[in-house]
Amino acid sequence: MTQPHVAELIDLLQLERLEDNLFRGQSRDIGTRYVFGGQVLGQALSAAQQTVDLARSAHSLHAYFLRAGDIEAPIVYRVDRARDGRSFSVRRVEAIQHGKPILNCAVSFQIEEPGFEHQASMPEVPKPEDLEPRTPLPAEELASLPAKVQRWLSTDGPFEYRFVWPRDELHPAKRPPFQHIWLRLNQRIDATPALHRALLAYTSDYHLIGTALLPHGVSYLTPGLHLASLDHALWFHRPFRVDDWLLYACESPTAQGARGLVRGQMFDRTGKLVASTAQEGLLRLRTAG
């Protein structure tokens, strides 16, 4: 039997087809103020994948977050079939709420074909089984946070994360701008590679921009911090499963002008590089006075 949070996420990513190139999705309230960006990414990719021949797989996605999403309203996804060539197809997707776009993205697809191969090596880190699950906040500290944040921190999600270097988000210490996180879907699923890619797009937005905060001694729980994804790029390199452990290696090479850049690489347990990410996010700290 599928776990409720896993089943809910899979249902969110399936989408309702309104027309050949028009889809509608709902949102899951996970305790964030607005719709989680990874949800919109996963749904946009799902919409694009439903307009492409099954012999073609998504290999890259480039998106811009334009407006915050309303959790209470559905999202309409309009797909433009920009190109269908011999080897590649391109789809442009616009996510719309209340008559305005909240995300624009382009997704490129390719037929399977052989070619040169090389890859970066996976970092040497402990196995996920050797790491402890994340420790919940003490009840008294949790009670001091806003209601939505409490729900965010106390609700079990569809993915499990194990941090090589855990961090106290309420009392963050300064440290170098990189982190390694093992992640996997909480349950084994019988699903198509397209659904695994949509699920990876969803979880790729977790913990990514937070890497840019590490050297500054702040976290998403710091009062006055405004943290938001501005764009997101995702490349799929090799086959993978999201219901088996993947290592997310994230690094932030720069932050400036109230923006931070983060790059990520995802490896499977055997060390294969299966996906890469890049994201720039807004890092704005409002101080009292």
Q: Say which of 229, 252, 265, 276 is annotated catalytic.
A: 229
117 CB-near residues (< 8 Å, 6+ apart): none
Q: Say which of 43, 89, 97, 279 is annotated catalytic.
A: 279
Contacts of 171-174 with C-beta under 8 Å, sequence gap 24+, read 172/213, 172/214, 172/217, 172/218, 172/219, 172/222, 173/217, 174/214, 174/215, 174/216, 174/217
187 is catalytic: no
- What is the per-residue DSSP string for 53-114? -TTEEEEEEEEEE-SPPPTTS-EEEEEEEEEE-SSEEEEEEEEEETTEEEEEEEEEEEE---
229 is catalytic: yes
205 is catalytic: yes
Q: Say which of 39, 43, 97, 205 is annotated catalytic.
A: 205
Active site amino acids:
205, 229, 279
